[in-house]
Amino acid sequence: MTEPASEQVLRVDAYPTHEVGGYRVRAGKPFPFGANVVPGGVSFSVFSDQATSMTLVLYKRGEPEPTAELEFPQEFRTGSVFAMTVFGLDHENIEYGYRADGPYDPVTGHRFDARQVLSDPYARLIAGRDVWGVEPDRSRGYQYRSRVCLQDFDWGDDTPLGIPAEDLVVYETHVRGFTRHPSSRVTAPGTFAGLREKIPYLKELGVNCIELLPVFEFDESDNPRSNPETGEKLFDYWGYNTVSFFAPKAGYAATGRYGMQGDEFRTLIKDLHAAGIEVILDVVFNHTAEGNEQGPTISFKGLDNATYYMLTPEGYYFNFSGTGNTVNCNHPVVRNYVLDCLRHWVADYHVDGFRFDLAAILGRDLDGTPLHNPPLLELLAYDPVLRHTKLIAEAWDAGGLYEVGNFPAYGRWAEWNGKYRDTVRSFLKGDPGITGDLATRIAGSPDLYSSRGTSASVNFLTAHDGFSLADLVSYNDKHNEANGEGNNDGGNDNASWNCGVEGPTDDPGVNALRTRQMKNAMAILLTSQGVPMLLSGDEVARTQQGNNNTYCQDNELSWFDWDLVDENSELLRFTREMIAFRKHHRELRSTAHPTGQLRDSLGLPDISWHGERAWQPDWSPESRLLAVARCGTGDDDVVYVAMNSHWEAHDLELPALPGGRSWHLFADTGAEAPHDIRTPGGELELENAGKYLIGPRSVVILVGRTPDAEF
Amino acid sequence: MTLNVKERRNKTGTVLVATGEINSETSGSLLQTLLPLVREGKPLRIDLTAVTYVSSAGLRTLLVVYREAQHAGVAVTLYGVSEEVRFVMSATGFLDFFSAGEAEAAAVKAAAKATAQARAAR
């Protein structure tokens, strides 16, 4: 029998040495930062380089006024770290913050204001926005309250799945939007617990990684705008304005009102892992919710403005993020902060990777200059705790830095491949002069990632930021009026095509074409080399009614409508089978870029290009037809994908196959469902072995295998 | 809010009936009551019918007791978990650790329902 939990080892530091404000205290340990439960009390540690004094402000949970203010004795300061252990605290029922005193001189970067109570940058729980959408009491002096939490979750035998990057099928989704719609029929709509109930859906779809839009605590009520058409309040729905980087968003938890969001989120991750699904977090280190000179003071601004933000020589905020401020990511202290934060999510939440919003900013120097060898990116690439996590950069920023293909990778970093998106979209709508670039993109963009391999390229056609797939084929222009910005927000360059009618229509021809275009998109995305990423809901044609920037829309424009699972089961089935097909064909997931070299065993090259005539691709500007054949090593099948964005049908001459193989039909988006796609392994052998008629704006996928090959 | 506990012993083990809230203030003494019962080595049933709220610290206390019991080879079951407490335990994953107790609770509930139906049919 083990020792019972109540019998603790005696420790010298379990006893107080001082008394401050009626509380028994002793010097705390500078590391780790934050509030940590220690024998007999809680150790608080906070950094400020220029503060002249620091005060710990304690509240009883939910009370408007502090119960105690404890100034750190001078001898509790080590370097620029203030650390104090306070004994006898009920860690579950306190909220805390800091008052930092020091110079207020914006020209030199300092904005100390001891009247403000500041959140702890390392707070692992935040109270104040406990339930989504509840209008906060803004008269309270301290809005986002740091809380203490135990890190004792029982993970059982949960271990990282370690899915090779090239085998991932990423599904980008939003915690609230995924189950908030009434049609989700989950116990707790819009929460981690709700998402957990939908794990069977994800598993059946076949994705093995979900990428969650920001889950760090943010304030959904910090958007002052209203919908000009309806007068309804608009939200900060996406959540890219982070309030606290170590705390999961309480409003995303059914148990947030009890402060149990950490356990709820961990339980979700644990169950996703059990279902074979990894979790990537979309993280935002380029800016914070504190905004510019007019923005609120929440934490960094009052603790150490000059350290945490990039400032102009006049003390104003640089704005490479487009949102007012820019985090000073390559300051040595901030680098460590980012590292600590990511380690926390990996070690204490078992997160499998991160997608970095506007990651080009992470490569800028303290004055904004792009660095050749950015220390933060290198640090993250080699960190022992993060060593096997996925690191994905959105390799551009709002300051004009565009690093797709050039992001400093250190053998680790992958990128959202914006060029893949743009090229395939253009091809789909039928633009001329695209086939050459299309070939490069679907082969894993060797022009961008020659030394990094195909898995450096995260291929996507749609993401939260932009049109959904259904809208991409239904609108020529964005329709963002509901955002209250006069339709001036959101991207204008969408490479979209409405198939003849702007918006919804009853025209069966137009609707059939739209469905076909969505299937074409899925077929190309899921047969391209690189890591495919799907936008949640695209598999069932989720619409945002032409809004390509729903950052503020907490309503049916953004939510996943689960009725579409039945209504658009044809597209869902197509997507599901395409994902399954990808899983069954290693040659689509090769990490090495194809070279065109012959595979000895088959007499076919690893990749070959074809047009109407076999072995004769048409790279002319007028060409809208391209076929690619991929051949693996050994006894693998041959996969042939013909893509026709022309409005005319074309006769395809199929390349001859070696070794008794014959062509079998897996998918033809031009065919009526259920003949549009088959189950992998159940492909139908072609009667006319050498030819196939590809319809207008269609994708055809064939498998070259022996008729009796075992699947 | 306080927590009252009463022990009831019978041939098959011990039933501990709790009334009130299990939170950081009350969980310490609950733990001190439960650990000796676990060490007795007899099956232990914790009746939560009259427990209105279990906080994060309270859930941890129950899990610690459960872990201690696992090490000691003692069966611990929860009984009478209210809908709200059950929901919180489910959403935070704690319920998964108490599967045996839940099965028993479900069986008891089903038996009670069957009894009620039998009475109604009379």
HEC states along chain B? CCEEEEEEEECCEEEEEEEEEECCCCHHHHHHHHHHHHHCCCCEEEEEEEEEEECHHHHHHHHHHHHHHHHHCCCEEEECCCHHHHHHHHHCCHHHHHHHHHHHHHHHHHHHHHHHHHHHHC
Residue, of A325 and B118, whose pLDDT is higher:
A325
- Tell me, yes or no, if B91 comes closer than 8 A to chain A by beta carbon: yes
- Tell me, yes or no, if B64 comes closer than 8 A to chain A by beta carbon: yes
Distance CA A348, CA A342 (A): 10
Write out the residues of chain A at the interface with chain B, using a CB-CB cutoff of 8 A.
1-2, 4-6, 90-93, 149-150, 152-154, 187-188, 191-193, 253-255, 258-260, 263-264, 266-267, 270
What per-residue confidence (pLDDT) applies to A211? 98
In this structure, what DSSP letter does residue A169 have?
A: -
Q: Quote the minimal CA–CA distance from A97 to chain B in Å.
A: 21
Q: Which residue of B has its CA nearest to A5?
A: B64
What per-residue confidence (pLDDT) applies to A262? 97
Chain A / chain B CB contacts < 8 angstroms: 67
Chain B positions in Cβ-Cβ contact with residue A188 (cut-off 8 Å):
87, 91
Dihedral sign (CA A552, A556, A561, A567): negative
Q: Across the interface, do A4 and B56 touch by the CB < 8 Å criterion?
A: no
Distance CA B16, CA B19 (A): 10
Query: Are A415 and A456 within 8 A, CB to CB?
Result: yes
Query: Are A355 and A281 within 8 A, CB to CB?
Result: yes
| A394 in active site | yes
- Tell me, yes or no, if B24 comes closer than 8 A to chain A by beta carbon: yes
> A394, A465, A538, A606: which is the annotated catalytic residue?
A394
**Which residues of chain A fall below pLDDT 70?**
1-8, 600-601, 633-635, 709-711
What per-residue confidence (pLDDT) applies to A514? 98
What per-residue confidence (pLDDT) applies to A566? 98
Q: Which residue of B has its CA nearest to A265?
A: B92
- Tell me, yes or no, if B121 comes closer than 8 A to chain A by beta carbon: no
Q: Across the interface, do A260 and B91 touch by the CB < 8 Å criterion?
A: yes
What per-residue confidence (pLDDT) applies to A672? 96
pLDDT digits (tens, 9 = 90+) for B53-98: 999 999 999 999 999 998 899 988 998 999 999 999 999 999 988 7
| A577 in active site | no
Distance CA A380, CA A388 (A): 11
A669: Cβ–Cβ under 8 A, 6 or more apart, which residues? A516, A519, A520, A523, A574, A676, A695, A698, A699, A700
How buried is A219 (Cβ within 10 angstroms: 0-12 exposed, 13-18 middle, 19+ buried)?
Answer: buried
pLDDT digits (tens, 9 = 90+) for A226-272: 999 899 999 999 999 999 999 999 999 999 999 999 999 999 999 99
What per-residue confidence (pLDDT) applies to A702? 97
Place of tokens 């995260």: A458
ipTM of the modeled complex = 0.90
> A120, A197, A217, A357: which is the annotated catalytic residue?
A357
Q: Across the interface, do B87 and A254 touch by the CB < 8 Å criterion?
A: yes
- Tell me, yes or no, if B92 comes closer than 8 A to chain A by beta carbon: yes
Q: Which residue of B has its CA nearest to A156?
A: B97
Q: Across the interface, do B31 and A5 touch by the CB < 8 Å criterion?
A: yes
- Give the DSSP H/E element, type plus range, for residue A472: helix A469-472
Distance CA A565, CA A537 (A): 9
Mean pLDDT of chain B: 84
As beta bridge partners, residue A699 has A643
Dihedral sign (CA A432, A438, A578, A557): negative
